Chain A
């Protein structure tokens, strides 16, 4: 039966996530926005709580680790038919945490994107060694951003030592300084194209992994963004995730892409949580000025500010439902690559648009540091960039809709 309300069984999860966001993240939002690169020690407590809760896919799924593989079933689902499982639960929890603070959410210990890659392509032995640890994702290079197929970092096998030797440069690694592990994407053969690009797990304390610097950013300043140089960085050959075969697609570049299918709705969720915070606060501030949205009257019969808030809320609702759709499809094992990109595209642009226009609606109150609105407007922009920019999402969507290859529609 068609129903787009979120299931009651996740109410407890959502409530707990919301309380954590309200009581732990919000109070320190401004502090760590100002103190860029300072470790938010409050997060240790949050991470411990999240580890403890872990119900039905639960809050642990607020990190990317819970999605990516495994079935979407949660306890209490009937064996057959419609499922509301870990993908939906993760998304709902994440929306609440992002409502609290996206920067702090991204800085959450053990919630790194690298764990999603590990979950997607690691074998059993690797899962045992790396599962549950804080793993950051290192894909982007100075000359390869959205175009991740042109990665230049190399991995050379030293047969005698039984080690891979990594050389290259990685930038924009979220939580790269703080994580325990880095999932570094490197090519086994620069002439072999995408299929030679593989993920390698590198311990953070590996001497060949040299921290170059931490970025100073527009927003999400609570989250460290690290740049690394890999200089003859030696790792055990067992740390290659998936198959070393360059001919096979599994675990290689396709693995990255599959990871993104699963994490795109989550990034959409971040934009949805952040935008909700903007809308709620703007609504409060406008109400103090006597402006409230009337849902029964047409937009043109209301003050312009109310009509604008209504339009923004409508885009927010569309993004939210699109993300729920993508997660629901994942729970029901329906291929959702198209819907995941649609959700990310809509939520990414909506997040920035809503945040900026909320600041503008509130004027000086919105623009000044006395409110968090200006911070949210700075935080929002990254959500339309990482995990595939707006333009990359549109490419993915358009190629599928129009039956174009990446060679035809560049």
Chain B
């Protein structure tokens, strides 16, 4: 694709730094590290072709439930168990290297894709395999996968978020164009890009804009911490249209699109990047959900639920790691677990983790039943922002100096859990 050649663009080089008069080597190194960014063309995408267009869009549906129930159904149990196995056997062993490399191994993501994760939100009429609405199922899966590793989970699930968005809000044409690819053997890498780089980011007031032109739209702006940005073939992007935020479906590789690596404190395996949009021209059918602000707000809430589920998984990983550790580690002649100051911290993790989990499931179950769930998602998010971060911190604290080193995964979870309380989009249940 011709546009691909255009975008290699060294923003700063060491020569430039020299000319800027930065003589101190350490300072120079710092500047190079932070400024030397590469902007590349977005991934070369497959050609998305319309297939099996239905007369009207297909949706999953769920009847309202009657009783309070915390037991997953058989399908959920089966899916969750297989994902949990995968997370324990394949994801966890790969987590440390993926964190260091700031990328999940391609073959591992391919294996994850083979689990059919991308198609969970796709209606059966369009080749999916889950009949009822899938928010709870997706939450259980995200939790299970994130117990293996949060970063790899985000990488493995970001595409599913785009598929779910199309399944929920796509018209028949959008569904026919894209969804069959998500149920194929090699689903496209894709991500929902809502977050922007400015402090105090408010997803309801975006700097990325869409203006109407020639019957279509022209998008400009920068999206931050987009999972797998460089590899994505498809994005769902939030942009301000007529003063209100709206969602657009963007295929990669178009003129004006470029990505820049944006490694962060945590969820590094998700290979986060910035997506630059410079006067990107898109057709009228790029607009998702008719630009309805309610659809956009729901996407934000579903994004938060995705991160809440990831936090529940990462928090579980912390709890299960510190339990045996404090039982085995001896100090002052007895196991750490015999001391209240230590044991109570573990109990505190269990208490808050269970609260996060239940609040997330409640919001997800309300979403599936067609009940309003913005409040419930916000509450789950608030729990994650406060207690999720604390769980990460306590996990390191319980291992003391050992926890601070990369010999143990708790420092990674410390970094990962912070993301769950602050990222908007990226995931979508």
Q: Which residues of A contact B (CB under 8 A)?
A: 1-9, 82-84, 88, 295-301, 310-311, 313-315, 317-319, 321-322, 324-325, 328, 339, 342, 345-346, 391, 393-395, 397-399, 401-404, 408-410
Contacts and interface: CB of A to CB of B under 8 A. Distances in A.
Contacts of B378: 295-296, 310, 314
Contacts of B380: 314
A408 B343 CA distance: 11
Contacts of B385: 299
Given A2-B365, A82-B67, A346 B358 contact: no
Nearest to A302: B202
Nearest to B135: A2
A391 B352 CA distance: 15
A1 B134 CA distance: 12
A3 B65 contact: yes
Contact of A300 (B200, B352, B375, B377): B200
B361 A2 contact: yes
B66 interface: yes
7 contacts: A4-B361, A7-B67, A296-B301, A297-B203, A298-B424, A301-B204, A324-B68
Give chain B's interface residue range (CB within 8 Å of chain A): 35 or more
A345 B354 contact: no
B338 A408 contact: yes
Interface in B299-327: 300-301, 319, 323, 326-327
B108 interface: no
Given A297-B204, A408-B334, 17 more contacts: A1-B69, A2-B76, A2-B361, A3-B68, A5-B362, A5-B366, A7-B67, A83-B67, A296-B297, A296-B378, A298-B424, A300-B200, A310-B382, A314-B383, A317-B383, A394-B340, A409-B339
Contacts of A325: 70, 354, 358
Contact of B68 (A313, A328, A403, A410): A328
A84 B346 contact: no
A408 B333 CA distance: 12
Contacts of B68: 3-7, 84, 88, 324, 328
B337 interface: yes
Give the top 3 A-B pairs by smallest Cβ distance, nearest first.
A318-B355, A3-B65, A314-B382
A147 B268 CA distance: 48
Contacts of B375: 295
A401 B365 contact: no
Nearest to B65: A3
Given A2-B72, A398-B344, A319 B355 contact: yes
Nearest to B386: A311
Contact of B347 (A300, A310, A394): A394
Nearest to A319: B355
B356 interface: yes
A148 B3 CA distance: 76
A199 to B, nearest CB: 29
A1 B73 contact: yes
Nearest to B132: A1
B80 to A, nearest CB: 11
Contacts of B335: 408
Interface of B: 65-73, 76, 136, 200-204, 297, 300-301, 319, 323, 326-327, 334-335, 337-340, 343-344, 346-348, 350-352, 354-356, 358-359, 361-362, 364-366, 369, 371, 374-383, 385-386, 424
A317 B359 contact: yes
Contacts of B382: 299, 310-311, 313-314
A70 to B, nearest CB: 19
Contact of B355 (A3, A321, A410): A321
Contacts of B67: 3, 7, 82-84
Nearest to A350: B355
Nearest to B140: A2
Contacts of A318: 352, 355-356, 358-359, 379, 383
Contacts of A9: 66
Contacts of B350: 342, 397, 401
Contact of B338 (A296, A319, A394, A409): A409
Contacts of A398: 337, 340, 343-344, 346-347
B361 A322 contact: no
B346 A301 contact: no
Contacts of B369: 3, 5
Given A314-B359, A314-B382, A398-B344, A298 B70 contact: no
Contacts of A402: 323, 326-327, 337, 343, 346
B382 to A, nearest CB: 4
B303 to A, nearest CB: 12
A225 B410 CA distance: 47
B204 A296 contact: yes
Nearest to B201: A298
